Amino acid sequence: MARVLTTVEAVRARFTALQQPVAFFDGPGGTQVPDSVIEAVADYYRSANANTGGAFETSRRTDALITTARVTAAEFLNASVDEVAFGANMTTLNFALTRAAARDWQTGDEIVCTRLDHDGNISPWLELAHDRGFVVRFADVDEQCRLDLDHLRSLLSERTRVVAFPWASNAVGTVTPVAEITALVHDAGALAWIDAVHYGPHGPIDVQAAGADVLVCSPYKFYGPHLGLAFGKASLLEAWRPYKVRPAADFPVASRYETGTLAHELLAGFVAAVEYLQDVGWDFVTEHEHELGQQFLEGLPEAWRLHGVPTMDGRVGTFAITHDTLTPQEASARLGERGFALWDGNYYAIEIMRRLGLEDGAVRVGIVHYNTADEVSRLLAALEQLAR
Ligand SMILES: Cc1ncc(COP(=O)(O)O)c(C=O)c1O
């Protein structure tokens, strides 16, 4: 990647949204978008707004944009254009793809999910199991919220059809050893179904190196518009029978899984978001987030308890914390009044919250590359003050 932006100040200058007097630690719920993304969306409406396949200029521009978006998505994930599909969001794509994948499965077939998953990678399987008589098992975590690979291995059998797991937890920030997991899933003859939604803003995704059969992510978590993006191996997408209307195109293969008219303006924003990330470069993202995460972990006041990996190794800078006496809701409301945007609750990661016994969930601090050391210092000071 050609790196253009080399300081956090230069990064922030690209975002009008970051000029507000708010410290945004809510990235895991969706990041702010650079102005170039906003302009690309607006520009589509100004100059190319049409449906596809028409014999007129705006329709041709729309067709060209869709092709560019597919090529951009394929390059972003190290896949081919036959393997990338856009949708409303990850959850919608996941319901569609899971149903297509399981069309010829038998009663009693098994699915393994994990306690680290967001419900977007669990409920589609639970609903299928409900309808079709499949069995869903859950791989556990250890005391630091790392995936227990021995337990996962013990759940695999000849009945296992798929293992659904996250690349990173949107609640406690754990990063899973993706390639190691996909290898053991494939040894068991099952599909590796990866939720990369939370990992998306934190590092490069290479579906080949990861060994993914299916991988889902959401551009709105990595500086793009509200959109979902899925990868599926071409051989699988070709073999499955998609839920599609008859006149819709069959090629590129993955487009069979896109229902109805796409949000073309958001595809324009997606292309701009990937261009923005190329200007930043993953080295800056990973180094800067690592530094800020370290600062946060070292400075966390005593009255706060961290749930998850206590160092920056094996995690991203997403921290679930609870206070001795304040509920997460009380704490986040007070922090909100002081200009900090962050979440409380379970963020749909209900399995890990149950596993940790956190009925009210936790406060979630989400660090991304546009955050600053000053914002982290101010947050730590505010956490200290709340603690008194
Ligand atoms: C890890 C993870 N998976 C899935 C989802 C659902 O994504 P979407 O909102 O695109 O359906 C989220 C959203 O927060 C998430 O964090």
Q: What is the DSSP string of 336-382?
A: HHTTEE-EEE-TT-HHHHHHTT-TT-EEEEE--TT--HHHHHHHHHH
pLDDT digits (tens, 9 = 90+) for 146-196: 999 999 999 999 999 999 999 999 999 999 999 999 999 999 999 999 999
pLDDT digits (tens, 9 = 90+) for 85-96: 999 999 999 999
Q: What is the pLDDT of residue 247?
A: 96
> How many residues are given for the chain?
388
Question: Ligand 1 center to residue 118 CA distance, Å?
Answer: 7
Question: Ligand 1 center to residue 384 CA distance, Å?
Answer: 31
Q: Is the dihedral of CA 203, 374, 363, 151 positive or negative?
A: positive
Percent of the chain clearing pLDDT 70 (strictly above): 99
Mean pLDDT throughout 280-293?
98
Q: Are 11 and 287 in contact (CB under 8 A)?
A: no
120 lines ligand 1 (CB under 6 A): yes
118 lines ligand 1 (CB under 6 A): yes
pLDDT of residue 375 exceeding 60, the answer is yes
166 lines ligand 1 (CB under 6 A): yes
- Which residues on neighbouring strands pair with residue 24, listed in sequence order? 341
Question: Ligand 1 center to residue 90 CA distance, Å?
Answer: 6
Report how far apart, in Å, the C-alpha atoms of 175 and of each of 179, 197, 284, 358, 377 are. 12, 12, 19, 21, 25
Which residue ranges make up each domain of the chain? Answer: 8-25+281-386, 39-277
Question: Ligand 1 center to residue 74 CA distance, Å?
Answer: 20
Residue from 178, 198, 199 to probe ligand 1 pocket by mutation (most atoms less than 8 Å from CB): 198
Tell me what the pLDDT averaged over the chain comes to: 97
d(CA 246, CA 234): 20
Percent of the chain clearing pLDDT 90 (strictly above): 98
What strand order describes the sheet that includes 343-345? 304-307, 318-323, 362-366, 343-345
Q: Fold for domain 8-25+281-386?
A: Aspartate Aminotransferase, domain 1 (3.90.1150)
Q: Specify burial of residue 68 (Cβ count, 10 A radius: 0-12, 13-18, 19+).
A: middle
Q: What is the pLDDT of residue 3?
A: 74
Question: Ligand 1 center to residue 218 CA distance, Å?
Answer: 7
Mean pLDDT throughout 318-332?
97
Mean pLDDT throughout 237-251?
97
202 lines ligand 1 (CB under 6 A): no
Is CATH 3.40.50.2300 the classification given to domain 39-277?
no
Token pair, residue 213, equals 């059969």
Q: What's the pLDDT band for 388 if we cut at 50, 70, 90?
A: low
Q: What is the pLDDT of residue 2?
A: 59
Residue from 220, 221, 350 to probe ligand 1 pocket by mutation (most atoms less than 8 Å from CB): 221
195 lines ligand 1 (CB under 6 A): yes
30 lines ligand 1 (CB under 6 A): no
pTM of the model: 0.98
Shortest-distance Cα residue to atom 12 of ligand 1: 197
Question: Ligand 1 center to residue 197 CA distance, Å?
Answer: 6
pLDDT digits (tens, 9 = 90+) for 93-124: 999 999 999 999 999 999 999 999 999 999 99
